Amino acid sequence: MANKSIQLLSIFVVLLGLWCLSDATKYRKMVGIYELRKGDFSIRVTNWGATIISVVVPDKQGKLADIVLGYDKISSYVVGTSYFGALVGRVANRIAGSRFTINGTPYHLYCNNGNNSLHGGHRGYSAVIWDVIEKVEGDSPYITFYYDSFDGEQGFPGDVDVHVTYKISPDYKLTVTMHAKPQNKLTPINLAQHSYWNLGGHSSGNILNHRVQIFASHITPVDSELIPTGEIASVDNTPFDFRKPMTVGSRISQLKGGYDHNYVVDSTPDELGLRRVAVVEESQSGRVMELWANQPGVQFYTGNFLNGTEGKGGAKYMQHAALCLETQDYPDAVHHPNFPNEIYGPGQAYEHVMVYKFSARK
């Protein structure tokens, strides 16, 4: 009943003007849709969940298409459960048992995925209104959103200042920069950008023929609840091996439902600390998406839980209608000392950079 009440309240807010009153600053925060455009390359975003609504790029013949799944109305993002295009946190992915301990102090989180916490809880960063700090036009247009994450939010300790910037450039690059700074307590932080990609166009069917290359020789295996076991396993001789380009559908039948696994990125960082994470290609359109990031892992997800959701333009998004590549720290790292640390404290800064490079092959 509590979940339904919260959901109804969120819908009420959206339908009555999409605003809320901040106790701290006493001003109304409006929900809006913002466009960044450079030539025939454009994206639309909203400050509801710092969400990417559309990404429009040309194919090999110059034909434009929107290549991310989403909705026509903001109200659909409010009630949706697929996290289309959202910025998720305070901790992306799953935390087992919805609890963890820091320096002997236990913390209990909101359960929204069975007994586990997923993507920050039932009202994580994907389900709040962010402030629009800056929107700049010019050669490389960008927009920056800010969220003041409060102590005890969804059970997480401490106040955290969170920023995300979306920037496009004339060479068809989309850069996503996420910053977070704890103010007064140690806390886990693991942000992720949760766009669903279909390079043929958001309504073009499934992605089983997309060719994917992931620059990772290991994964973190999961149990029946998709919680990491703590093992770091080689992809050798498994359907998880995408070190050479393979179609998504070539071995997906060997997995229950499809891919929903964290890969351990092992390519060499460039001078900016970014690693080449993955390359995706769709042959009919010729579109190519190359992803670089500075995080140790990437969640490869093939839209396993999509089941006919009505999206933009009345499109029906069925299972495997898109794929996600969510760069991240390893899931459930708070329970696995052998995983990279995701605990940050006052005076420390979390920084997560992603660069999507789009092109089209003739």
What mean pLDDT value characterizes the chain?
Answer: 93
Structural tokens at position 346: 């006052």
Please name the residues in contact with 12: beta carbons below 8 A apart, sequence gap of 6 or more.
Answer: none
* Residue 321 identity: A
* Number of residues written out for the chain: 362
**Does the pLDDT value for residue 3 go beyond 70?**
no
Reply yes or no on whether 320 is catalytic.
no
Going by C-alpha positions, the residue among 319, 310, 324 that lies closest to residue 73 is 310
* Residue 70 identity: G
Q: Is 15 exposed, middle or buried (0-12, 13-18, 19+ CB in 10 A)?
A: exposed
Q: Which residues are annotated as a binding site?
A: 93-94, 194-196, 260
Provide the pLDDT confidence category of residue 362 given band limits of 50, 70 and 90.
Answer: confident
- 96-124 pLDDT, tens per residue? 999 999 999 999 999 999 999 999 999 99
How large is the average pLDDT for residues 11-23? Answer: 44
Omega into 90 within 30° of 0, i.e. cis?
A: yes
- 277-332 pLDDT, tens per residue? 999 999 999 999 999 999 999 999 999 999 999 999 999 999 999 999 999 999 99
Q: What angle do CA 219, 221, 225 make, to 5 degrees?
A: 140
15 against 258, higher pLDDT: 258
Going by C-alpha positions, the residue among 222, 287, 286, 282 that lies closest to residue 249 is 282
- 203-246 pLDDT, tens per residue? 999 999 999 999 999 999 999 999 999 999 999 999 999 999 99
* Residue 82 identity: S
Catalytic residue among 153, 281, 282, 326: 326
Task: Give pLDDT, residue 29.
Answer: 77
330 vs 190: CA distance, rounded Å: 9
Q: Which residues are annotated as a binding site for beta-D-galactose?
A: 93-94, 194-196, 260
Contact 307, 143 (CB under 8 A): no
DSSP run (H or E) holding 145 = strand 142-149
- 18-43 pLDDT, tens per residue? 444 344 343 467 999 999 999 999 99
Catalytic residue among 163, 194, 261, 352: 194
Task: Give pLDDT, residue 28.
Answer: 60
Going by C-alpha positions, the residue among 48, 46, 155 that lies closest to residue 91 is 155
57 vs 44: CA distance, rounded Å: 12
Reply yes or no on whether 326 is catalytic.
yes
Going by C-alpha positions, the residue among 80, 51, 77, 16 that lies closest to residue 147 is 51
Going by C-alpha positions, the residue among 57, 99, 116, 33 that lies closest to residue 290 is 57
